[in-house]
Structure 1
Amino acid sequence: MASTNQNSLAVQFRNLHAPGDPLILGNVYDAATASIIASLPSAKAVATASFAIAATEGVYDDDMTREQNLVAIKKIAAAVVPKNLPLTVDLQDGYEDVKDTIRQVVAMGVVGCNLEDVDTKTRKLRTFEDAVQRVKLAVEAAKEAGVPEFAINARTDVLVFGGTIEEAIERGKAYLAAGANTVFVWGGPSGRGVSRDEVKRLVDAFDGRLNVILRFGEGYLTVTELREIGVARISVGPGLYRIAMAAYKEAAESLLGA
């Protein structure tokens, strides 16, 4: 059972999601990067990125097992929780037993998670009803574990599967009604994306309770622009991981090519 302090930390984490003054998360993927983010005075919380964690395990994101993800999360939690910083983790779809997965991360000191609506085994979009039910199960499990304010960032991949922004809004509203704290509408790793106008529509539809992934580079919405649009949360997914690996490769090439 979680401590009273853990639920207080969850409340603190929820309150950081303020439309127009968004929580900015630098996603981590191991204890070392978690320690770096946690040591920064400007860091208000720590979040993991499943794609980057999978890469450190030598597997593709879709192929990472629950055990691999939980082992990594446990190490990250050991670096973050003692600092009394909120930790939210990417749990993909929550795996086969979503309630047990939530119970396990709560036991590690986690106060929030990402939960997506694509089945990790079949790689198919879950039905509307199934996806909503899994959000409800996650909320229920967190309450049972002693963290009723556990914050779920419910991700929908409906756009990736050819759906419309209207369908994304329908799902997002249902996830919020089921107990999610925010919604993350994923446009895919390349191609479709989510346009500025669509971000505005999503902000209006969800009363600002929207997570947007920030892309590094020219042509993408900036923190300033996303703040003006009114989002509540900004994350970077595997963005920092990719920057780190590019620097590592460059340094290695320089060393080995000398």
Structure 2
Amino acid sequence: MAQNNRAKTLRALHQPGNALLLTNVHDAATASLIASLPTAAAIATASYAIAASIGVDDNALTKSQNLTAIAAIASAVRAINPAKPLTVDLQDGYGDTAQLADTIKQVIALGAVGCNIEDMDAAGVLRSVGEAAQRVETVVKAAAEAGVPDFVVNARTDVLGAGGTIDQAIERGKAFLEAGACTVFVWGGPSGRGVSSEEIRRLVCALGGMVNVKMNLREGFLGVKEIRELGVARISVGPELWKIAMKAFTDQAESLLAL
């Protein structure tokens, strides 16, 4: 009951126009820092940063490695503020339908009340709309069976990165929401294509505002205020804080070594 209450809390934080801001973490230390901040309403992991922190590429991160990191993060959050909801990045969900359901039950057992799941498989192949939506349904069903019927699914589509159009992203988003997703995360892909303000407006209009946007913490990109004004329900930063931290670490180390 307590865990599903945290899921309800997380779900309620997704308000179009008053977007939930998630400052993604990657280990127990960063989770402890964010959990201790009164202004951080929830905790979210970033698979890219988790992978980088253990020395592997994002696409090489295994389920076992990710769950080990999630377990440490969940423990750190419980120690600081057990009431704060935790949502975790599960990449493509790791395997077939049965394996996906098992993964969801495992992360719920660790304390998660939400997840990201992608529609591109581990081999880099974009799943069909029907298959991807069915996997969202699998997540929702598995979570309900595990006692968290309000589990929050942030369904990511990589269709733009695969050369698709915003219309295709909308089609997938509608299917994901109908399958039980709370929000739809439309990613611009690794090439840096990005998602324009006008495209975000179209997504917000078509998907009732239940859209997740990744914010870039660099010059020339929209800030929190500007993105919220577009009407989205969720803003995440992915590995951006990890990148900033690693740059500061490198710069300081170089300065010391130059003495």
Cα displacement (A) at 1:190: 3.4
What is the aligned partner in structure 1 of residue 92 from structure 2?
93
| CA contact 1:81–1:87 (8 Å) conserved in 2 | no
What is the aligned partner in structure 2 of residue 173 from structure 1?
174
Counterpart CA distance in 2 for 1:127 and 1:46 is 30
- The reply to whether residue 139 of structure 1 matches residue 136 of structure 2 is no
What is the aligned partner in structure 2 of residue 229 from structure 1?
230
What is the aligned partner in structure 1 of residue 121 from structure 2?
119
What is the aligned partner in structure 2 of residue 108 from structure 1?
110
Report the RMSD for the aligned CA atoms in angstroms.
0.8
What is the CA deviation profile of residues 104-128 of structure 1, one whole-angstrom value per residue up to 9, with x for unaligned ones? 00001100000000101x1111111
Counterpart CA distance in 1 for 2:77 and 2:169 is 33
What is the CA deviation profile of residues 75-115 of structure 1, one whole-angstrom value per residue up to 9, with x for unaligned ones? 00001134110000000011011100100000011000000
Q: Which runs of 4+ in 1 moved over 4 A?
A: none
| CA contact 2:126–2:159 (8 Å) conserved in 1 | yes
Q: Specify the SS of the correspondent of 2:154.
A: strand
Counterpart CA distance in 2 for 1:196 and 1:218 is 16
What is the aligned partner in structure 2 of residue 213 from structure 1?
214
State percent identity of aligned pairs: 61
| CA contact 2:156–2:187 (8 Å) conserved in 1 | yes
Q: How many residues align?
A: 254
Counterpart CA distance in 1 for 2:221 and 2:15 is 22
What is the aligned partner in structure 1 of residue 156 from structure 2?
155
Q: Structure 2 unaligned runs (5+)?
A: none
Counterpart CA distance in 2 for 1:98 and 1:50 is 16
Q: 1:35 aligns with which of 9, 32, 35?
A: 32
What is the aligned partner in structure 2 of residue 185 from structure 1?
186
What is the aligned partner in structure 2 of residue 25 from structure 1?
22
* Matched residue type, 1:51: Y
* Matched residue type, 1:33: T
Counterpart CA distance in 1 for 2:240 and 2:187 is 15
Cα displacement (A) at 1:171: 0.3
Cα displacement (A) at 1:191: 3.0
Q: Report the more deviating stretch, 188-197 or 40-49.
A: 188-197
Counterpart CA distance in 1 for 2:192 and 2:93 is 26
Cα displacement (A) at 1:189: 2.9
Counterpart CA distance in 2 for 1:140 and 1:81 is 26
* Matched residue type, 1:211: N
Q: 1:75 aligns with which of 72, 78, 83?
A: 72
Cα displacement (A) at 1:192: 1.4
What is the aligned partner in structure 2 of residue 128 from structure 1?
129
Counterpart CA distance in 2 for 1:153 and 1:73 is 17
* Matched residue type, 1:157: D
Q: 2:7 aligns with which of 6, 10, 28?
A: 10
| CA contact 2:162–2:189 (8 Å) conserved in 1 | no
Give the TM-score of the pair, scaled to structure 1. 0.97
What is the CA deviation profile of residues 141-173 of structure 1, one whole-angstrom value per residue up to 9, with x for unaligned ones? 000000000000000000011111000000000
